[in-house]
Amino acid sequence: MGKRAIITGITGQDGSYLAELLLDSGYEVTGIVRRLSASNYWRIEHLLDRITLRPADLLDQLSLVRVIQDVRPHEFYNLAAMSFVPASWDQPLLTGDYNAQGCTRVLEAIRQVDTGIRVYQASSSEMYGRVREVPQTEQTPFYPRSPYGVSKVFGHYITVNYRESYGMFAASGILFNHESPRRGLEFVTRKVTDGVARIKLGLTDQLGLGNLDARRDWGFAGDYVRAMWMMLQQEKADDYVIATGVSHSVRELVEVAFRHVGLDWQKYVRLDPAFLRPAEVDHLIGDASKARRVLGWEPKVSFERLIAMMVDADLARVAAQPAPAGAVR
Ligand code: NAP
Ligand code: F7E
């Protein structure tokens, strides 16, 4: 009999890759989904006959307790969140309720049912914000620059707190930006690769972006979910930075994506002030030495391969279905 795992956020980018990884490793996978008026299972459509979906919500403590009691998982991955940084300025209270108190509700629910359940918390490089050190490690002090970043600092420390207060196996993965063809369309990598596909296919001739100078350490989501699983297989719970150690600017991202289809980005990209943020995180670059040393983790997909993979996937998708229903642009 394999292990049982619960994933919150299974309908998101990381949840879908993690579910694949766990199923391939022989796990029974239960995904927590919140009730929506229309189904949003496009990332897990191919897994639906191999996973169990249970309705629950990070806002509803009892719904979490009920699922954990029924499933009695060995591992619990808390990936659900309001994850789009600009939206966190529009909805700071809801962001805190999902990401900060939501994480506390998960930890409390596990504590109530069985403190032996191993739990992973999805922390973020956005916690470093206005960085105090370059590159960032597990020891770098936090300085979040958005309600999202602040909510994730709470989630991180409450996870550490439950580990230290109750002896729970609660690990926090401080993951730097990771992307894939399943990334939401509003995030900059996917916005660019989708835009390149539309321009290449003659559906539009411009792409409006914000700050081209921001730099991020971008990796492939498939590589990063492997690190989450590795963290829960250790003897003791800990915090780990997961990053490639290489950063690129948004401008470089744009150049690489347009070059992949033989186009000159300068003819199509324009500055749209609507995409500038009230406070920017200028430059993130992570040092994942601890994860390499302790977990034996390393990224396999380079930045150039990642962007090529995303552009190719968007070209195929847009060619097949030029106007996806419900996409946030
Ligand atoms: P994502 O694609 O935006 O997915 C977020 C997931 O959370 C979705 O399944 C969403 O469900 C679910 N969710 C949101 N609010 C919920 C609620 N109240 N109750 C239950 N489920 C809820 O995010 P991702 O990129 O996969 O990221 C996964 C996690 O890692 C997030 O916590 C994110 O903040 C964190 N993180 C991401 C990155 C990155 O670069 N991707 C880096 C560091 C940390 P619906 O489908 O119903 O909306
Ligand atoms: O922005 C700049 C923008 O929205 C990256 C989330 O997964 O990673 C993600 O957060 C950069 C920023 O991701 C546009 O100003 C320029 O500097 O793709 P993003 P993010 O904010 O870094 C962290 C680690 C998480 O934890 C989050 O959940 O790109 N940028 N022009 C733009 N960004 C967007 N979205 N759209 C633009 O037009």
Same domain, 201 and 313: yes
Residue 324: its pLDDT value, please?
A: 54
Domain tally, the chain: 2
Residue ranges making up the domain that contains 315: 184-216+247-283+301-320
pLDDT at 325 over 60: no
- Residue 193 belongs to some domain of the structure: yes
Residue 328: its pLDDT value, please?
A: 42
- Using a 10 angstrom Cβ sphere, with 0-12 exposed, 13-18 middle and 19 or more buried, the burial of residue 233 is exposed
pLDDT at 318 over 70: yes
Same domain, 191 and 66: no
Distance between CA 148 and CA 89 in Å, rounded? 8
Confidence of residue 314 (pLDDT cuts 50, 70, 90): very high
Ligand 2 pocket residue status of 125, Cβ below 6 Å: yes
Same domain, 146 and 209: no
- Residue 12 belongs to some domain of the structure: yes
**Torsion angle (degrees, nearest 10) of CA 119, 125, 131, 133:** 70
Same domain, 27 and 123: yes
Which bound ligand lies closest to the C-alpha atom of 185?
A: 2
Same domain, 150 and 193: no
Which tokens in the block code for residue 82?
Answer: 């309001």
Same domain, 210 and 224: no
Which bound ligand lies closest to the C-alpha atom of 100?
A: 1
pLDDT at 239 over 70: yes
Ligand 1 pocket residue status of 217, Cβ below 6 Å: no
Same domain, 163 and 254: no
- Provide mean pLDDT across the span 269-287: 98
pLDDT at 329 over 60: no
pLDDT tens-digit map of 165-214 = 999 999 999 999 999 999 999 999 999 999 999 999 999 999 999 999 99
pLDDT at 326 over 90: no
In this prediction the pTM is 0.98
- Residue 95 belongs to some domain of the structure: yes
Same domain, 39 and 148: yes
Confidence of residue 322 (pLDDT cuts 50, 70, 90): confident
Ligand 1 pocket residue status of 81, Cβ below 6 Å: yes
- The yes-or-no answer on residue 88 being catalytic is no
Same domain, 276 and 308: yes
pLDDT at 133 over 70: yes
Ligand 2 pocket residue status of 89, Cβ below 6 Å: no
**In the 3-class helix/strand/coil scheme, how is the chain assigned residue by residue?**
CCCEEEEECCCCHHHHHHHHHHHHCCCEEEEEECCCCCCCCCCCHHHCCCCEEEECCCCCHHHHHHHHHHHCCCEEEECCCCCCHHHHHHCHHHHHHHHHHHHHHHHHHHHHHCCCCEEEEEEEHHHCCCCCCCCECCCCCCCCCCHHHHHHHHHHHHHHHHHHHHCCCEEEEEECCEECCCCCCCCHHHHHHHHHHHHHCCCCCCEEECCCCCEECCEEHHHHHHHHHHHCCCCCCCEEEECCCCCEEHHHHHHHHHHHCCCCHHHCEEECHHHCCCCCCCECCECCHHHHHHHCCCCCCCHHHHHHHHHHHHHHHHHHCCCCCCCCC
Same domain, 163 and 270: no
- Provide mean pLDDT across the span 61-78: 98
Give the CATH number for residue 262.
3.90.25.10
Which tokens in the block code for residue 196?
Answer: 């390149």
- Provide mean pLDDT across the span 24-46: 96
Kindly report which listed range (151-165, 170-184, 242-256, 310-324) carries the lowest average pLDDT score. Answer: 310-324
Give the CATH number for residue 126.
3.40.50.720
Same domain, 14 and 139: yes
Same domain, 138 and 275: no
List the catalytic residue out of 20, 28, 126, 179.
126
